[in-house]
Amino acid sequence: MHTPVLFDDSVCNGCNVCVEVCPMDIFAPNPEENRPPLVLYGDECRYCGACWMRCPRRKDKALKIVVPPSMRVSILRGARTEVRG
């Protein structure tokens, strides 16, 4: 159901660091060399961010963590509250 990680094919070179470190083991190396890994078990993602944190091409946005709607934080935007202890 969930696709927790999207790879950018033009940036990711298939180094597979994410495949190695994912604690839930959701990825598999792409059978084609130098291509992004496959997300085999997307529903088992625990959204820890290890794949993103360890990606050598993170700054160039080789991968993106997709937050499912039910997991988005609920933000109240507005003015400052003056709160004293």
Q: Which residues bind another protein (CB under 8 A)?
A: 2, 4, 20-25, 40-41, 43-50, 52-54, 65, 67-68, 70-85
- Contact (Cβ atoms closer than 8 angstroms) between residue 14 and residue 36: yes
As measured in angstroms, the least distance from the Cβ of 9 to another protein is 21
**Residue 13 or 21 having the CB closest to another protein:** 21
As measured in angstroms, the least distance from the Cβ of 42 to another protein is 9
**Residue 10 or 67 having the CB closest to another protein:** 67
As measured in angstroms, the least distance from the Cβ of 40 to another protein is 8
**Residue 14 or 24 having the CB closest to another protein:** 24
Q: What angle do CA 7, 70, 5 make, to 5 degrees?
A: 10
Three-state SS sequence of 39-72: ECCHHHCCCCCHHHHHCCCCCCCCEEECCCHHHC
**Nearest-angstrom CA–CA distance, 84 and 37:** 50
